[in-house]
Chains A and B, each alone.
Chain A
Amino acid sequence: MTELLNTLYVQTQGASLHLDHDSLKIVIPETPKKTLPLRRLDGIVVYGHVSLSAELLARCAEDGRSVVWMSLSGRFLGRVDGPTRGNVMLRHAQHLSHADPVLRLQIARSCVAGKLQNSRQILLRGARDATDQAQVTLRSLAQDIEDLLGRAEDAGTLDELMGLEGQAARLYFEGLSHMLRPLSDIPSFANRTRRPPTDPVNALLSYLYGLTRALVHGAAEQVGLDPYLGFLHGMRPGKPALALDLMEEFRPIHADRLGLNLLNRKQLRKEHFETLPGGAVQMTEDGRRLVLTEWQAWKNKDWPHKLLGRKVSASLLPVVQARLLARHIRGELPAYIPWTVG
C-alpha cells in the first residue's frame, strides 16, 4: 500500500477497502486496520485481488474520485468515475472530426509525429550514454526513424500511417535492447511481447504502459473528451482508442525512459521478477512497490512545454495535451501539436 500525491495505490493481495464515515478503512488480514480521510485522496488504484465495498465505490463515484482497477501485471482493467461529464458540445465535435477523413488523418499524423520525435530523442540520448558499436547502432536507428518521420508527413491513409508507425516501433525496440547495460543481471530482450510478457523487460514495460495509460485516460475524461473515440486508433468496442492515441507521444519518456533507468541503475533486479508456470513473467510485489514509488517521483518531474512557454509536471502533461486537442477539435486551434521533449 502506497499513498503518494493524493493517489492511493493498493497492491497487497487480499486487502479490502471500506467506507467508514468520511474515511477509507483498509483491512488486511492479520494486520492492524488503517484509516485515511477520503478528503485527502483524489484517486484509488488497486492491483489484482483487492476488494472495495459497494458503499465506498458509490461514495467515490459521487465525489468524482476515480477508482482504477489494474491487473497484477499492470494491465489497465477499468475505472469508475461517477457520471459522465456533460460536455456534449465537445463530444459532438469529437465525433464530427472523427468522421471527417481529412481532420482525422491530420490528428492521427500528429500523434505519430509526437511518438516518433520522442522515440528518436530516447535513442539519441541513449547514444550519448553508450560507447562504440552501440552508439553507432543507436544513431543509425535514430536516423531510420527520422526517415519514417518524414514519410509520415505524406502518409495518405491511416493504414499507411499505421504501417510506418509499426516499422518505427520495431526499430525503436531494437534500439532499447542496445540501451540496456549488460551489467544488469536482467537478460536483454529481443523484442516487444505482451499479453503476457515472457521476459522481465517486457513485464516492466507492460506495467509502466498500464500506469501511463491510466494517467492519459484520466486526462481525457477530465477534459471531457470521449476516451473511446480515437483518431489514429479509431473506434473499437472496449478499446479506449483516444487514450491510446494520446499515449503515443508519452510512451518514450513517461514509460520507456523510466524503465531503462530503473534497470540500468540496478534498482530493479532479477529478484523483482518471477516466472509463472508456463513461462509468463511478472513483477513481484516488492518490484511493483519499487516501480510505483519511482513512478510517482517521475510524475513530479517538470518538463518544458514549448507552446505553453513553461514547465509542466509529467503528471499534468497529458491533461494539457488533452486540452490542446479539445481546443483543436472545437475549431479554436489550427492543429493538434503533440508534446515533444526538448
Chain B
Amino acid sequence: MTDAAPQAGGVPLQQVMLSALEHHAYCPRQAGLILLEDGYADDASTIRGTLMHQRVHEPGHETRGAVRTLRALPVWHDGLALVGVCDVVEIHSDGRVIPIEHKSGSYTQGGPADVQVTGQAMCLEAMFSCSIPYGVIYSAADRRRHTVALDAAARNRVLTLADEVRHTLAVATLPGAVADQRCRRCSMHDMCMPRVLARQGAITRAASKLFTPQPEAVWDD
C-alpha cells in the first residue's frame, strides 16, 4: 500500500489492496483500524481463515483436463492502482479466466466478498487482456460455489470503495463505529470498542467523578 501508481494526469494514485476494499465494504472503520492502526486481530474466524488460506496459498499450479489452476496468484492493475492476491484462478482451455475466492464462512450475495472477487477480475482482465464475465466465491461453510456476475454496478462499486479507502488513508482519521449487528461478527471488535465509543456521555460522567470517593466495594477473593 506504500507504492503509488502513476496516473494519467500525473498525480500518483495511492495503491489499494483488494482485501482493504472488502474490509471497507464490511465496515469502513474495520478497514481504517487495519490500515491506520495496523490492527490485526486473531479471533477464531480469522484463524480458521488463515489455516484455510495456508492450504489454498501454497503457491503453484496444476492442470487437470482442460483447466489450469493457479494458486496464490499476485494480481494488480496499474491504471486503477489496485493490488492483491487471488486464492485460486482457473484458466480454461476455451480461454475463460475465473477468479475463485475462498471464504471460511457462509456466503452473502452482494456482500463484501463480491467486491474482492470483482476487483480480482478487473486486475486479471488487464493482465491477461481478456474479459471476465463472472467470478466465484467458494464458501467452506456451505461447501458450495457461488457465482458472482461482474456487471457495471459491481465494477463501479470497486472503484467507489477504492476511492473511499484512499480517503481514509489520506485523512488518517478512523471512520466512526457503525455499532450495529456487524460488530458481533467483527474480528476488530475488541480493538474498536464500538459500545464504549457510543457512550461518550458515560465517559464524560465517569471523568467528572474520578476524584469523588466511590462507594465501598465488596468482592470475593
Tell me if A125 and B204 are in contact (CB < 8 A): no
The closest CB in chain B to the CB of A305 belongs to B196
B68 interface residue (CB < 8 Å to A)? no
Interface stretch (choices B117-125, B131-139, B146-154, B187-195) = B187-195
Q: B118 to chain A: closest CB distance in Å?
A: 28
Tell me if A332 and B197 are in contact (CB < 8 A): yes
- Cα distance, A153 to B174, chains bound together (Å): 31
Tell me if B38 and A120 are in contact (CB < 8 A): no
Tell me if A334 and B210 are in contact (CB < 8 A): no
Q: B66 to chain A: closest CB distance in Å?
A: 40
Tell me if A113 and B210 are in contact (CB < 8 A): yes
- Cα distance, A90 to B200, chains bound together (Å): 20
Give how many A-B residue pairs fall within 8 Å (CB-CB).
93
Q: Kindly list chain B residues whose C-beta atoms are within 8 Å of the C-beta of A149.
A: 211, 213
Q: B191 to chain A: closest CB distance in Å?
A: 6
- Cα distance, A308 to B198, chains bound together (Å): 11
Tell me if A333 and B200 are in contact (CB < 8 A): yes
- Cα distance, A258 to B213, chains bound together (Å): 23
A276 interface residue (CB < 8 Å to B)? no
A309 interface residue (CB < 8 Å to B)? yes
Q: Kindly list chain A residues whose C-beta atoms are within 8 Å of the C-beta of B200.
A: 333-334
B110 interface residue (CB < 8 Å to A)? no
- Residues of chain A in range 6-29 having any CB-CB distance to chain B below 8 Å: none
The number of chain A residues with a CB under 8 A from chain B is 46
Interface stretch (choices A173-181, A210-218, A234-242, A323-331) = A323-331
Tell me if B196 and A125 are in contact (CB < 8 A): no
Q: A140 to chain B: closest CB distance in Å?
A: 14
Q: B219 to chain A: closest CB distance in Å?
A: 7
B215 interface residue (CB < 8 Å to A)? yes
B129 interface residue (CB < 8 Å to A)? no
Q: Kindly list chain B residues whose C-beta atoms are within 8 Å of the C-beta of A114.
A: 210
- Cα distance, A14 to B42, chains bound together (Å): 35
A124 interface residue (CB < 8 Å to B)? yes
Tell me if B214 and A327 are in contact (CB < 8 A): no
Q: Kindly list chain A residues whose C-beta atoms are within 8 Å of the C-beta of B197.
A: 327, 332-333
- Cα distance, A330 to B197, chains bound together (Å): 12
Tell me if B217 and A334 are in contact (CB < 8 A): no
Give the interface SS of chain A, mostly helix, strand, loop or mixed: helix
A86 interface residue (CB < 8 Å to B)? yes
The closest CB in chain B to the CB of A335 belongs to B207
Q: Kindly list chain A residues whose C-beta atoms are within 8 Å of the C-beta of B218.
A: 125, 342
Tell me if A121 and B203 are in contact (CB < 8 A): no
- Cα distance, A301 to B211, chains bound together (Å): 27
Q: Kindly list chain A residues whose C-beta atoms are within 8 Å of the C-beta of B221.
A: 257-258, 261, 298, 301
- Cα distance, A223 to B206, chains bound together (Å): 23
- Cα distance, A330 to B32, chains bound together (Å): 13
- Cα distance, A33 to B93, chains bound together (Å): 57
The closest CB in chain B to the CB of A85 belongs to B38
Q: Kindly list chain A residues whose C-beta atoms are within 8 Å of the C-beta of B210.
A: 109-110, 113-114, 117, 153, 337-338
Tell me if A150 and B211 are in contact (CB < 8 A): yes
A280 interface residue (CB < 8 Å to B)? no
Tell me if B37 and A333 are in contact (CB < 8 A): no
Q: Kindly list chain A residues whose C-beta atoms are within 8 Å of the C-beta of B202.
A: 307
Tell me if B203 and A308 are in contact (CB < 8 A): no
Q: Kindly list chain B residues whose C-beta atoms are within 8 Å of the C-beta of A258.
A: 221
User: 10 pairs across A/B with beta carbons < 8 Å?
Assistant: A114-B210, A117-B213, A224-B39, A308-B195, A324-B196, A333-B196, A334-B200, A334-B207, A342-B214, A342-B216
Residues of chain A touching chain B, judged by Cβ–Cβ distance below 8 Å, are 85-90, 109-110, 113-114, 117, 120-121, 124-125, 146, 149-150, 152-153, 223-224, 257-258, 261, 298, 301, 303, 306-309, 319, 323-324, 327, 330, 332-335, 337-338, 340-342
Residues of chain B touching chain A, judged by Cβ–Cβ distance below 8 Å, are 36-39, 172, 174, 190-191, 193, 195-197, 199-200, 202-204, 206-207, 210-211, 213-219, 221
| Extra pairs beyond A150-B211, A323-B190, A338-B210 (8, CB < 8 Å) | A110-B207, A113-B210, A117-B213, A125-B217, A146-B213, A303-B219, A306-B206, A342-B215
